[in-house]
């Protein structure tokens, strides 16, 4: 079945450090890929997405590129801030045309220290 594997946390960084969270997927067909973020005490919100191979999603300084050859969608940010402390989820929708169900990774908790 469709699945997402993301690097385990927790990850602790200092401000202005470089952040990478690895995400790989298994899916039939051509999935759409997403990163969601959950700030403390809140629900999830979409951070960025990519719907086809080689697309790059970007938002709030975060980027991720849809790599079909390596079935990956790694999240990166060049200089993190304390406000980036959150849980990050990689997710996919397996079939764009008629399926709205998301499959999520386990989540990676990121803590950024001042």
- Give the interface with another protein as residue ranges (CB under 8 A): 4, 32, 36, 41-46, 49, 51, 89, 93, 95-102, 104-107
What is the closest distance, in whole angstroms, from the C-beta atom of residue 18 to another protein in the complex?
Answer: 24
Q: How far is CA 94 from CA 2, 24, 56, 60, in A?
A: 7, 14, 18, 26
Is residue 90 within 8 A of residue 75, CB to CB? The reply is yes
In the bound state with another protein, the residue whose beta carbon lies nearer, of 47 and 112, is 47
- Name the minimum Å distance from CB 66 to another protein: 12
| CB nearer to another protein: pick between 13 and 102 | 102
Minimum CB–partner distance for residue 43 and another protein (Å): 4
The helix or strand, by DSSP H or E, that contains position 63, with its residue range, turns out to be strand 62-65
For strand 108-113 and strand 11-14, is the pairing parallel, antiparallel, or unpaired? parallel
């Amino acid at each position: 079945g469709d699945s997402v594997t993301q690097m385990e946390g927790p990850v602790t960084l200092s401000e202005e450090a470089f952040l990478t969270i690895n995400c790989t997927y298994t899916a039939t067909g051509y999935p759409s890929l997403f990163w969601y973020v959950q700030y403390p005490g809140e629900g999830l919100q979409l951070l960025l997405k990519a719907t086809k191979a080689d697309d790059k999603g970007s938002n709030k300084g975060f980027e991720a590129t849809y790599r079909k050859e390596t079935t990956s969608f790694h999240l990166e940010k060049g200089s993190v801030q304390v406000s980036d402390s959150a849980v990050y989820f990689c997710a996919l929708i397996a079939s764009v045309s008629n399926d709205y169900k998301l499959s999520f990774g386990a989540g990676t908790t990121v803590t950024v220290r001042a």
